[in-house]
Amino acid sequence: MTLDTPVTTIEVRNPRTGVADYSFVPTTPSELQDIARAARAAQVDWQALGLEARIAILTHWVEKVDAAAPEIVAAVTADTGRHAESLREIGNIGKWVDRWSAVARKALTLEPTPTANPDIHSFADYSPYPVLGVISPWNFPLSLSLMDAIPALLAGCAVIIKPSEVTPRFVEPLVASIAEVPELAEVLHYVCGAGALGAALVDEADMICFTGSTATGRKVASQAAARFIPCFTELGGKDPAIVLEGADLDRATSAILTGATLATGQQCYSIERIYVHRSLHDAFVAQLAEKARAVKLALPEPDDGRIGPLTFAPQAEIIAAHLADARAKGAEVHSGGEIETHGGGLWCAPTVLSNVDHDMAVMTEESFGPLMPVMAFDTVDEAVRLANDSPYGLSGAVFGLEDDALAVARRLDLGGISINDAGLAPFFIGDATVAEKTAFKSSGLGGSRLGPDSIKRFLRRKALLVNRSTRKSPWWFDA
C-alpha cells in the first residue's frame, strides 16, 4: 500500500444476522505515520510522569470505561454475537489495571547490585520501548486489544493498537472513554484497517505484540526481525486434554466441555483434542455427549443460551471441512456435528466425536470451534506421544490423581497446563502470584503474560557501572 492509496470503506458483518450492518473508513498509512510520530513525542512526558502517576491516570480511565460500559458492551456483543463474554471482557480492564499496577510496583523497583570487584558498583535501570504496536484478533476484540497495552502503558510506553477489521465496533465507544482522559489519549491510540495497516504498524513501532493465527504471526515476526525490533506473539493452538486412569469423570467431562466450548470454542486456549484411557473411554464419551447436548445455543437472544454464533464466517467453512473429513474417515458423531443457520448467522452446537485418529484434520489442525474429538489410549507413553504430536504447544490439560497428572504434564511440550481443570492460564493474566509460561513450538514467541517479571518485556535493560576506586584501574592506558 502506498501513501496515496484511495480511502475505501470496510463493511462489517453482524455474526448473528449475517448482514453487513456496520462500516468504517480505515486509517491511511500517512495518518498512521502522523499518529506514531505524535505518540513517540508524547511518550517522553508519559515516562517522565513516573509509575504512580501513570497508575492514577489508568485508574481514572477505568472509571470512564465503567461509565460507558453499556455502550461498549453493546458494541462488543454486536461484534461477536456473545453477551456473557462481552461482560467479562469489559470487566478485565479494571482487573488488569489493578493487577499490572501491583506487578509494576514490585518489578520496577530498582536496587543496587554488588559486583565481584568491590571498586565497581552496579545499578540497574530500565528504558521503555517508546512505541508498542499491538495487532489483536477478532475472537475477544476488546480484552485482547488491551491485554498487552495496559502493562506497556504502566511501563512507560506509548501504544498504538490495530484491532481486527472483523470486530471493530467497540473501538468508537472505547476511544470516546480514552478521550475523556487527555494524558492517556496522547499515548493510547486505536487505528482501524485490514492486514496492510497491521504491516504498516510493524514498520512504525519499536516493539510488536501480535495475537492471532500462526500463519500471520510468522509474517509479523519476519517483518519485525528485519527491523531488529522485538516481537511477542501468541498464536494458534490445538490444545490436548489427557484423561488418565483414576480421573474423576464428572469433573473431567464438565471441565473439558467448558474448556472446549467457551466463547463457542473460538479461543486459542480451547481444548481441541481429547485422549482418554481406554478403560474410561466409553463412559467418558457417553457422559460428555450427554452434557454437550444439554448446552443450548444463544437463541433467539444472546443471553438465551451458552453457545454464540461463529463470529468469522470463513471459520465455519474450516469447521465444516474438519467434520466432513472426520465423517469420511469413520468418525462417529455423538452430538452436534453440523453448521447450522439461524437468522442469517452461522452456528455450531457442541460436537462430540469418537473413533478419531491423527489421520483426521480434526485431530491435527486448529478448528477454532466447539468440537471435541475423543481418542482412546492404552499407556501413558502413548498419551504423551499423541499429545506432543502437533506443531502447536500453547496449553493443555491433564486429569487424574494429582501426582500422576503432574508427572504427565512435565512431559508435555506445552506452555500452560491445567491439572484437573481446563484453560486456567487466561484467568491469571497480569497475576504476579503464578508461574510464568511461554508458548512452545508454533504457538508463539516471547515472554510471559503471567508472573512477577512479566512487565519487564516492555523495557530495555541498562547496566550503570560506577568506578569508585581512588586508584588507577589496571585496564587504563597511560600516555
CA distance 457 to 159: 14
* Known catalytic residue at 268: yes
Strands in 444-445's sheet, in edge-to-edge order, are: 188-190, 158-162, 131-135, 207-211, 231-234, 444-445
Among 234, 272, 365, 366, the one annotated catalytic: 234
Cα–Cα distance for residue pair 335/350, rounded to 1 Å: 7
Contacts of 385 (CB under 8 A, 6+ apart): none
- Residue 268: all three cell numbers together: 486459542
Cα-Cα-Cα-Cα dihedral sign, residues 302, 306, 312, 316 = negative
Q: Strands 131-135 and 158-162: what pairing? A: parallel
Contacts 24+ apart (CB under 8 A), 110-119: 115/465, 119/467, 119/468, 119/469, 119/471, 119/473
Catalytic residue among 157, 192, 231, 268: 268
Angle at 77 between CA 74 and CA 80, to 5 degrees: 150
230-239 core/surface letters (b: 16 or more CB in 10 A; e: else): bbbbbbbbbb
Using CA atoms, how far residue 157 sits from 45, 96, 292, 327, in Å, is 10, 16, 45, 50
Can 234 be counted among the known catalytic residues? yes
Angle at 216 between CA 213 and CA 219, to 5 degrees: 150
The secondary structure element, H or E, covering residue 58 is helix 51-67
Q: Label residues 189-213 b or e (16+ Cβ within 10 Å = b).
A: bbbbbeeebbbbbbbbbbbbbbbbe
**Residues with catalytic annotation?**
234, 268
